[in-house]
Amino acid sequence: KEGAGEKEGISSEEKEYLLQQLQQLQQLYLKQQQQLQQLKNNNKQQHKQILEQQEYYEERMLQQKQQLDQKIKRIQRQQQQQEEEITNSITPITPRDNNKNPHSRTIDFTHAIITRRLAPTGGSGADIYSCDVDGVSCVLKEYLVEKKGNLEKQALEKFSHEIDLIEGLKHPNIVRYLHHVERRGILRLFITRYETSLRKEITNRALDIKEDLDDPYPASVIVSLFSDLVDGLEYLHSHGIMHRDLKSDNIFLNFGKQGGSYTAVIGDFDTAKWVETGAGQTRTIVGTINYLAPELVQLMVNPRDAQPYSLKADLWSLSMVIYEIMCLQLPYGEFHMTEALPLIQKGLRPSIPPSNQPDIPDVETIHNYKQIIEIFEKCSVLDPEQRPHTSEVKAMLKKLSKNET
């Protein structure tokens, strides 16, 4: 039995040989597994590289598209600027002015060609058109004098008041009067046409930011716009004129020759009022809720006990315009009117950033706006007597502008 067992069993040499063969097979298997894993890793790396290249080229294409869009916008702005430069170079004159300014050109306003309607009806009840007059692009405000009824009569008086007021104004930051005429029952006012309104420009900038095509306005641009508007407002106040409806819709822009620069002018004087220079006050409630000063809201809510408002109400409205430029939305825009009025009445400023868009402007941009925000807060103090005069705001902005440069 022992002999038979030895023949049928496995010898120690054979067993050792088989173990060696098994180890070699295991090593070969592990090596093949390593090679397979390395091949997989290489494929993953190649796939990752392909994806990275694809993302790179997509980003480059997007950048090139943005640059192309910016070039197109810049070309369009330059074309509009050239048109406006032609318009601004023309001074309408009467025959008695010929000897005073031989370089001026007389425009024949009897041949106005309306090109398109800009707005159905303005605040004064007049229709607003873009028109071509003797080769010059203008804005035409037109009112039918023969309209009947008390409301129409009041609207006509309002429009006539606007003409009387604007006719005597001449300042680079006030919309430019060209001519007015009453003919065949139609009263027409011609003013310089500007490239866009501040409201439209802010809306376009906000849309571009949402699509990652642009950034918030640089602090230097806001300081420049702020300075233009304060200059225009100081001119009005020095002539005893209270605007009473200062807002982005009533501010117009021309684009500068350098990209990103603007010239701002104040327009739409249908609610403006002559008051005594200095301490002139009034009680009539006019304006737009988002820009109303607290003293006007107080007058609206409690007319018996409220005090009349002064020129300082315009300064509050201007501060809200600056807020709008910084935050790219209407002041108190996240609130319903019934919610906004109590806030305004208490002098609670709209938050920066607004509660409904906490990332615009972001922390870094708010830091860059720090000194502008300080001036904004001084102009939007609850007590109108504590708000600075326009001359003081000009001095603050001038100092800030020097720091920017």
CATH number at residue 375: 1.10.510.10
Nearest alpha-carbon partner for 169 in 312, 267, 281: 267
pLDDT of residue 86: 46
Per the DSSP assignment, residues forming a β-bridge with 196 are 253
**Dist. CA 44–CA 341, nearest whole Å:** 61
One-letter identity of residue 77 = R
With a CB cutoff of 8 Å and minimum separation 6, the contacts of 294 are 316, 344, 345, 346, 347, 382
Matching residue, tokens 């930011």: 209
pLDDT digits (tens, 9 = 90+) for 92-112: 433 333 334 434 456 677 777
pLDDT of residue 100: 43
Could you tell me whether strands 112-119 and 127-133 are parallel, antiparallel, or unpaired per DSSP bridges? Answer: antiparallel
Residues with pLDDT less than 70, the chain: 1-9, 67, 70-71, 74-107, 120-124, 146-151, 257-260, 276-280, 404-405
- Is 14 a member of any domain? no
Q: Is the pTM of this model over 0.85?
A: no
| Whether residue 141 is found in the same domain as residue 124 | yes
- Is 348 a member of any domain? yes
- Is 1 a member of any domain? no
**Dist. CA 143–CA 123, nearest whole Å:** 12
- Is 11 a member of any domain? no
- Is 30 a member of any domain? no
| Whether residue 205 is found in the same domain as residue 218 | yes
Matching residue, tokens 């508007």: 229
With a CB cutoff of 8 Å and minimum separation 6, the contacts of 39 are none
| Whether residue 202 is found in the same domain as residue 172 | no
Residue pair 350/331 in contact by the 8 Å Cβ criterion: yes
- Is 83 a member of any domain? no
Q: What sign does the dihedral 51-53-56-58 (CA atoms) show?
A: negative
In what helix (H) or strand (E) does residue 268 lie, and over which residues does it extend?
A: none
pLDDT digits (tens, 9 = 90+) for 211-249: 888 999 999 999 999 999 999 999 999 999 999 999 999
| Whether residue 181 is found in the same domain as residue 240 | no
| Whether residue 312 is found in the same domain as residue 169 | no
- Is 32 a member of any domain? no
Residue 262's domain comprises 196-404
| Whether residue 247 is found in the same domain as residue 389 | yes
Q: What sign does the dihedral 68-73-78-83 (CA atoms) show?
A: positive
pLDDT of residue 365: 94
Domain count, the chain: 2
In what helix (H) or strand (E) does residue 382 lie, and over which residues does it extend?
A: none
Residue pair 282/291 in contact by the 8 Å Cβ criterion: no
Q: Could you tell me where the beta strands, DSSP code E, fall in 228-374?
A: 241-242, 251-255, 262-266, 273-274, 281-282, 309-310
The last residue of a domain, from among 192, 216, 237: 192
| Whether residue 334 is found in the same domain as residue 204 | yes
State whether residue 241 is helix, strand or coil. Answer: strand
